[in-house]
Chains A and B, each alone.
Chain A
Amino acid sequence: MTQTPLLHLTGLSKAYPGVVANDDVSLSIAPGEVHALLGENGAGKSTLVKMIYGLVKPDAGTMLMRGAPFAPPEPRAARAAGVGMVFQHFSLFDALSVAENIALGMENAPKMRALSQQIREVSDTYGLPLAPDRVVGDLSAGERQRVEIIRCLLQEPKLLIMDEPTSVLTPQEVEILFKTLRKLSGEGTAILYISHKLDEIRALCDAATILRLGKVVGHCTPAETSARDMAEMMVGSALKTPIRAGKTPGDVVLTLAGLSAPSPSAFGMPLRDISVEVRRGEILGIGGVAGNGQDELLSALSGEVLSPVGMVTFEGRDVGQLGPTPRRKMGMLSAPEERLGHAAAPEMSLTENALLTGAARENLDPRGVINWGAAQRFAQKIIERFDVRTPGPHNAARSLSGGNLQKFVIGREVLQRPDLLVVNQPTWGVDASAAASIRQALLDLAEGGTALIVISQDLDELMEISDRFAALNEGRLSEPRAAQGLSVEEIGLMMGGAHGMEVAHV
């Protein structure tokens, strides 16, 4: 490449107490290039993009933007220099409209009518169907992401950073997004694309930089490199692919008969007449776009929300009126999606978090008196068996990276030998090797006779581990079908078609 790169990083380093997040990282992005940033959790991807976006100051190294020194002291300066970023977690207000949300993020927002017009133009130009007057609380995850993207595009960025953009999208929505990104790249906007999904990177990106433990371990051209090779560079060891056992399922463990539940909040989703049976040793995969009843289904199964008599039967007993603790004692365990604040208490130690759900089955508080020694041993066991990277069980849950905390949360339930385990988004935001080990643990559980319900938005994951597949759409569960032989298009249709496809003008 002979032209001046848009962004050129040389020798960037950033250390935090006890960990070097980035060590001598160099890379270069040309105008219009779609550049992938690959790496496990904790490899330093977030730190790197935060430095580019002005959220973190590098300890050493230089950044050049179109040949000129670039050191944004804060995101505002980075935006002014033409860097836009779409975060993995959206920062939108549910109760406001699309246009109002976008206006909130702008330096000097134009009049609402003019802004709505601009939003319509951008959304037409880039094939991102979105009505400016809709309330964000009613939007799907994919549509919310469009709000964030349009917010960036209104500032006409030269470089767009996207952090795991497809983790919440249906296949059809991914297609729409890719078309948009390709169009942007065709117009000369460079894109720095962070993802774990190697197939996507191969389909979309021109170049890739692979990070491991804060260092650049390789550059490659994704289209010419196999997904397996990229994954191995990323992980530094051969990737473990889960192995399907292929067993006939046993007796029915869980029966849901017409399970319905009102919406817990104004922006929640009611459950509507869900009927399904789950058998010993089988994995029922439940797909669907986020916000279609996943959290509500998990709450109804965990016992956080009680159900009327007759709707939830576990091993022949009606458990609808039982709370989480008696259900756990019977062997009905669950792991919610939200790690911090739901599955785990952020400020509390791993020992305390082990006690949180392990008390009843692991006998950690006989007659109400907590046995802290036993709780710590249980936490230690989870840490060791699930390779949770942390200095020890006394550390606060908040101090762990997302992937490590997820391993802890899943490990905590798996080690309690459940008869039924319900997990929501077991590998969300988790690196490839951790995801593989979590999936393997789930498969091993099924092998041992546990019935599993895996709720996920990662279809590849569901196809890989599910025996049967069903989709949640508007709080309804589709008829489960054998996962083998389902095509991605069929799945998309089970998920209620593409959300918002009918208005797409791509």
Chain B
Amino acid sequence: MGGRRVIRLEKRPEASRAFSLATPVLAVLATMVFGGLLFTALGKDPFVAIRTIFWDPLFGEFSFFYRPQLLIKGAPLVLIAIGLSLGFKAGIWNIGAEGQYIMGALFGAGMGLAFYPMEGWFIFPLMVLAGAFGGWIWAMIPAVLRVRFGTNEILVSLMLVYVAEQFLASMSLGLLKNPEGFGFPGSRNLQQYESAFNADLIEGSGMHWGVVAAMIAVIFAYVLLSKHRLGFAIRVTGEAPRAAKFSGVNPTRLVLFCLGMSGILAGLAGMFEVSGPAGQITIDFNVGYGFTAIIVAFLGRLHPIGILLAGLLMALTYIGGDIAQSNLGLPAAAIQVFQGMLLFFLLALDMFTHYRLRFGRGEVA
């Protein structure tokens, strides 16, 4: 029976609640440690780098500028991640939120610009509807293909991101191009069009309509999942698809709802972004919120409150990363690796919620 040491994973009889709560914190700590090593290897002081990323945006010298940024960057992440989490809970994988975000922005901005230069109270609400519709219709493509032909929504939704990016480029160079823009690609700036401008509700707070929408989405998702038949159907489908079907859940309708809802929220995020912080449609309008929101959804354990916190944390690493790039000269790729680590550690540690390690001796294979 001689042998080498073996480490085995063993399923816990009940999921560990303590681990479930501790995992996000541990993941952040592990990311700090290994991110610190990475920064050291790049020749930077790890403590300064970590402080720059996590501390300076909140309490540093220029925090008056960065704090509103936290809301501006956090809102689209939370809004999109809430939508994604509904599908993820039911095993419906929309990873094309980036594309739906772009389409929402295009539809929203297009609606606003169609009225230019007319002013009116109804323009902004119409843009909101158009943005939601743009995201929804883009998400309906993978949804309908899945329910009609059984295609894989992961692939279709992802591929449509690249199609949407081409649309975005085409629109910035063509239909939506600013006629008074001296030939530069990009639309008119909606910040200078009062009826279409998604301005801060309180000047300089970063609190625009997208932040309000994100808060509403958090509350809506919380109530839906804990109190409503549909939220229960989503959870059962994720836990036990056959039991869900037996209980009367219609899988087709659920796919349409989950993909549609995540499309709507991603589209809204795009619309609020283009009409507010970004101001205009440009070729490089999208900066990856739709993909980062996937991390946010999991970091928040697919729970609405968790997603709210995770969205703010992620926004923090974005802002802090920017500061680290400009102040410390860290390469952008290092910041992305840092964010990637966060997801990696979260998922790796997550396993211990359901499994535990057993050490023992095994036979030679």
A328, A341, A365, A396: the one within 8 Å of B243 (CB) = A341
A355–B232 CB distance below 8 A: yes
CA distance A302 to B243 in the complex (A): 12
B203 to chain A: which residues have CB within 8 Å?
none
Contact of A324 among B13, B227, B232, B247 (CB under 8 A): B247
Instruction: Determine if B180 is an interface residue (Cβ-Cβ < 8 Å).
Output: no
Check A370/B232 contact, CB under 8 A, given A323-B248, A324-B247, A324-B248. Answer: yes
A187 contacts chain B at the CB level, 8 A cutoff? no
With both chains docked as a complex, state the minimum distance between the C-beta of A72 and any C-beta of chain B, in angstroms: 11
A370 is contacted by which of B227, B244, B248 (Cβ under 8 Å)?
A: B227
Determine if A345 and B243 form an interchain contact, defined as CB atoms under 8 angstroms apart: yes
Name the prevailing secondary structure of the A interface residues: mixed
B-facing residues in A336-387 (Cβ within 8 Å): 336, 338, 340-348, 352, 355-357, 359-360, 365, 368-370
Contacts of B243 in A (CB 8 A): 341-345, 356
Q: Does A24 contact B (CB under 8 A)?
A: no
| Residue pair A357, B239 in contact (C-beta under 8 Å) | no
Q: Are B239 and A342 in contact (CB under 8 A)?
A: no
A399: interface (CB < 8 Å):
yes
The minimal Cβ–Cβ distance linking A109 to chain B, given in whole angstroms, is 16
A355→B248 CA distance, assembly (Å): 12
A347 CA to B229 CA in the complex, in Å?
18
A304 near B: Cβ within 8 Å? yes
Contact between B232 and A347, CB atoms less than 8 A apart:
no
Q: How far is the CB of A16 from chain B (nearest CB, A)?
A: 8
Q: A304-B245, A336-B246, A360-B248 are in contact. Are A370 and B229 (CB under 8 A)?
A: yes
| Residue contact A359 to B229, C-beta cutoff 8 Å | yes
B228 lies within 8 A of chain A by Cβ:
yes
When C-beta atoms are compared, the residue in chain B nearest to A76 turns out to be: B363
Question: Is there an interface contact between A346 and B239, defined as CB atoms closer than 8 Å?
Answer: yes
Question: A325 at the A/B interface (Cβ < 8 Å)?
Answer: yes
Chain B residues near A338: list those with CB within 8 A. Answer: 242
Are B246 and A343 in touch, CB under 8 angstroms? yes
**A403 part of interface (Cβ distance < 8 Å):** no
> Is B158 at the interface (CB under 8 A from chain A)?
no
A348 touches B228 (CB 8 A): no
Question: Contact: B246 with A368, CB < 8 Å?
Answer: no
Find chain B residues with CB under 8 A from A341 CB.
240, 242-243
Determine if B284 is an interface residue (Cβ-Cβ < 8 Å).
no
Chain B residues contacting A369 (CB-CB under 8 Å) are: 227-229
B192 interface residue per 8 A CB criterion: no
Q: Point out the residues of chain B lying under 8 angstroms from A340, CB to CB.
A: 240
**Which residues of B, 9-27, contact A by the 8 Å Cβ criterion?**
13-15
Cβ of A303 within 8 Å of any chain B Cβ, yes or no, is: yes
Q: A342-B242, A370-B229 are contacts. A356–B247 as well, Cβ < 8 Å? A: yes
Asked whether, in the complex, the Cβ of B236 is within 8 Å of the Cβ of A368, the reply is no
In the assembled complex, the Cα of A94 lies from the Cα of B246 at a distance in Å of: 24
**Within the complex, which residue of B228, B236, B246, B250 is in contact with A302, where a contact is CB–CB below 8 Å?**
B246
- For B227, the chain A residues whose CB sits under 8 A away are 369-370
CB closest residue in chain B, given A73 = B1
Q: Hey, what's the 0/1 contact readout for B135-177 against A, CB within 8 Å counting as 1?
A: 0000000000000000000000000000000000000000000
Complex: chain A residue closest to B223, CB-CB: A369
Contact with B along A146-172 (1 / 0, CB 8 A): 000000000000000000000000000
Chain B residues in 8 Å Cβ range of A360: 248
**In the complex, how many angstroms separate the beta carbon of A479 from the nearest chain B beta carbon?**
30
Residues of chain B with a CB closer than 8 A to A73's CB: 1
List 5 contacting pairs A-B, 8 Å CB cutoff, sorted by A: A324-B248, A347-B15, A347-B239, A348-B239, A357-B247
Q: Which A residues fall within an 8 A CB radius of B?
A: 73, 76-77, 302-304, 323-325, 328, 336, 338, 340-348, 352, 355-357, 359-360, 365, 368-370, 396, 399
A347-B240, A370-B232 provided; 19 other pairs, C-beta below 8 A? A73-B1, A302-B246, A303-B248, A336-B246, A338-B242, A341-B242, A342-B242, A343-B246, A345-B243, A347-B15, A348-B236, A348-B240, A356-B236, A356-B247, A357-B246, A365-B229, A369-B227, A370-B228, A399-B13
